[in-house]
A = this chain, B = another copy of it.
Amino acid sequence: MKVILIVGDGLADRPIPELKNKTPLETARKPSLNKIAETGICGIMDPIAPGVPPGSDTATLALLGYDPIKVYSGRGALEALGSEVDVLPQDVVFRCNFATVDNNLNVVDRRAGRIETSDSSKLAKALKEIVLKEHKDVHITFKNTIQHRAILQLRGPKLSRMVSDSDPQKTGTPILTVNPRDDTPEAKKTADIINKFTRRSLEILKTHAVNARRIKEGLPPANAILCRGAGTLPIVKSISLLYGVHGAVVSVMPLIRGVCKVAGLRLLDVKGATGTYDTDVVAKGKAAVQALKTLDFVFVHVKATDVASHDGKVKQKIRMIEKIDGMVGCILKKVTLDETLVSVTADHTTSLVTREHEGDPVPVAITGPGVRTDNVKEFDERNCARGDLGRIRGKDLMPTIMNLMGKAKKFGA
């Protein structure tokens, strides 16, 4: 048996007056999502626990069957792993932004005017291998990814992820001094490294030719590096080891790819998949079905529903849901439900009103052979709440699917 698990990022929402007190999912035209609900079993799911707003990292760990409370160890290493950076278990990794600061080191633009990748790549070269004379034992690697985004990786003895961010996450305030978050010498050392790296990078970027040119052109200079989300790799068993199931992921988001890599999934590249509204969902659906020819399990992630909620764009969210529905329609045409389980859910609720991840449960539906179908006919937050799956936790979904697939291990004799 084969499985496709489709995850709409931030797909779930709350009822809003603009939609006559319905949610975007309740409003959208979605015959294929409804078909999964109608031919399958439905429920609601707390990705972490009732009322706890999940991050995309913790939620995806949960959807892959891990207990996020036990295994989560920060975002940085996961993001790096998904950005084709090799990460070892002992590495401490930060997510970074190229930013613009004024003469008093106050942050003016957290993304340096969303600097083009061509510019940030040149600047990154100058920061690539900084050696701090006080910490020669630590290998510091800086690598830009897309636009203003970058990774800072520390490799060496006695490091810790228990340090605060230098990124103030807002403008008008200075770069923050990084502090240890526990009493260990490891945390103290790591904080010191980031503070010294920050100062050194300020010096290097200030006089860089790219920034001189940007200023001349009236663009904000990328004259500072902001660090956040210190993390190490979560230590987990792969899905193939746990269930004997070999899988892949269709997603362009580095963080999602990183989590899936930790779980032992292959990372597929799909032409036209962008993580934005214009993403080619049909190409993603086709790639997933294609991958099932050789693999058992495909995790398909679509980002832009979350983007729409973060931007407060009601119509865009509904349109993205309808695009996902199109992808599901394409998948349902190409697989036979006699041999394939298809499940659809969200990694978390993202509210169009608060524009934040929220702790409300998400709908989930599973269709395929052996499923105890229920009376739910529509895939949305409230109809699924009346389904026979009841209310489960994110970490329960993978065992539920693996059980239907015949891959769950018996506990006891």
Contacts and interface: CB of A to CB of B under 8 A. Distances in A.
B396 A385 contact: no
B55 A408 contact: no
A239 to B, nearest CB: 14
A317 interface: no
A382 B387 CA distance: 10
Contact of A410 (B53, B399, B400): B53
A374 to B, nearest CB: 7
A255 to B, nearest CB: 8
Contacts of A385: 372, 374, 388, 390
B53 A403 contact: yes
A72 interface: yes
B68 A358 contact: no
A354 interface: yes
Nearest to A74: B413
Contacts of A371: 14-15
Contacts of A229: 413
A360 B366 CA distance: 13
Given A353-B370, A403-B52, A390 B388 contact: no
Contacts of A75: 412-413
A373 B381 CA distance: 11
A9 interface: no
A48 interface: yes
Nearest to A391: B390
B55 A411 contact: yes
Interface in A198-249: 228-229
A21 B373 contact: yes
A408 B69 CA distance: 16
Given A44-B390, A50-B400, A68 B372 contact: no
Size bracket of the A interface? 35 or more
B360 A403 contact: yes
Interface stretch (A56-64, A80-88, A134-142, A324-332): A56-64
Nearest to A357: B410
A395 to B, nearest CB: 9
Contact of A372 (B15, B58, B404, B406): B15
A399 B56 contact: no
Contacts of A389: 391
Nearest to A387: B385
Given A54-B411, A399-B51, A372 B386 contact: no
A137 B391 CA distance: 53
A298 interface: no
A125 interface: no
A402 interface: yes
A412 B57 contact: yes
Nearest to A405: B51
A359 interface: yes
Interface string A163-180: 000000000000000000
A351 interface: yes
Contacts of A72: 411-412
The 3 closest A-B pairs by CB, nearest first: A55-B412, A51-B399, A58-B412
Interface of A: 14-15, 21, 23, 44, 48-59, 68-69, 72, 74-75, 228-229, 351, 353-354, 356-360, 370-374, 381-382, 385-386, 388-393, 396, 398-404, 406, 408-413
